[in-house]
């Protein structure tokens, strides 16, 4: 095979691979920039640290304070999902939050559990069947991991209050500019 034929074959292979990737269901192209990652933190627990009982079903069951770094240019709204992939029946959803204004860079402790907040933020239904935040409540045993996943979006979402995680994930498809997460752990005390 000549060099020219070899180069042409590689170009065809690369083009085919890109076509397959871009047409794979669920595949979303993300910007290849440093802005594609957002750092999410809490003043009450470190990354991979223990979530205080105050934020669990064994405590006040209120949402923890969260903050994040600057979002990329073009961000129109922010969404957040908190879930536990270690739940016995599969991933358990603890919080679904969307249409936060793009100027938001933090959530205060004890965010109201109303479906619509005054600033336009909407909350969905968690797997406890309630609107807003539902804290860690694992069965006795080893600690579970709780992922607070934040998404910077290039649009506001046409979802009514009370959406499910699945509805939010579908609505966000092809609109994620950047994302980040904070993982905390919780172990049942009783």
Please say if the pLDDT value at position 22 is more than 60.
no
Distance CA 147, CA 83 (A): 6
At residue 36, the pLDDT reads: 64
- Dmax over CA atoms of the chain, in Å, equals 72
108: left (phi over 0), alpha (psi -120 to 50) or beta: beta
Place of tokens 């409540």: 137
Using 50, 70 and 90 to split pLDDT, how confident is the model at 11? very low
Residues forming beta bridges with residue 183, ordered by sequence position: 147
In Å, how far are 21, 122, 154, 159, 164 from 116, measured between CA atoms? 37, 5, 21, 11, 14
Please say if the pLDDT value at position 66 is more than 70.
yes
Task: Compute how many other C-beta atoms are within 10 angstroms of the C-beta atom of residue 83.
Answer: 21
Please say if the pLDDT value at position 15 is more than 80.
no
CA gyration radius for the chain? 20
User: What token pair was written down for 164?
Assistant: 């499910």
User: What token pair was written down for 186?
Assistant: 């919780």
Instruction: Specify the DSSP element, H or E, that contains 11.
Output: helix 3-22
Instruction: Please give the mean pLDDT across all residues of the chain.
Output: 86
Q: Are strands 77-84 and 92-101 parallel, antiparallel or unpaired?
A: antiparallel
Distance CA 156, CA 89 (A): 32
Using 50, 70 and 90 to split pLDDT, how confident is the model at 9? very low
At residue 1, the pLDDT reads: 42
Place of tokens 């009370």: 162
Instruction: Specify the DSSP element, H or E, that contains 95.
Output: strand 92-101
Mean local confidence (pLDDT), 116-131: 97
Q: What is the pLDDT of residues 125-168, one digit of tens each?
A: 999 999 999 999 999 999 999 999 999 999 999 999 999 999 99
Which one has a higher pLDDT value, 110 or 8?
A: 110
Please say if the pLDDT value at position 120 is more than 80.
yes
Please say if the pLDDT value at position 95 is more than 80.
yes
Which one has a higher pLDDT value, 35 or 107?
A: 107
Which one has a higher pLDDT value, 168 or 10?
A: 168
At residue 190, the pLDDT reads: 75
């Amino acid at each position: 095979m000549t060099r020219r034929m070899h180069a042409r074959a590689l170009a065809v292979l690369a083009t085919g691979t890109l076509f397959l990737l871009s047409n794979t269901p669920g595949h979303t192209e993300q910007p290849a920039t440093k802005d594609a990652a957002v750092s999410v933190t809490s003043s009450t627990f470190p990354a991979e640290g223990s979530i205080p009982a105050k934020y669990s079903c064994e405590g006040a069951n209120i949402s923890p304070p969260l903050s994040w770094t600057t979002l990329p240019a073009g961000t129109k709204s922010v969404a957040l999902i908190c879930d536990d992939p270690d739940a016995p029946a599969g991933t358990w959803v603890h919080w679904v939050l969307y249409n936060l204004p793009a100027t938001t860079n933090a959530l205060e402790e004890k965010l109201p559990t109303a479906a619509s907040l005054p600033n336009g933020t909407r909350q969905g239904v968690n797997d406890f069947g309630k609107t807003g935040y539902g804290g860690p409540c694992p069965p006795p045993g080893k600690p579970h991991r709780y992922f607070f996943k934040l998404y910077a979006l290039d649009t506001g979402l046409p979802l009514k209050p009370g959406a499910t995680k699945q509805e939010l994930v579908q609505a966000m498809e092809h609109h994620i500019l950047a994302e980040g997460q904070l993982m905390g752990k919780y172990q049942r005390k009783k």
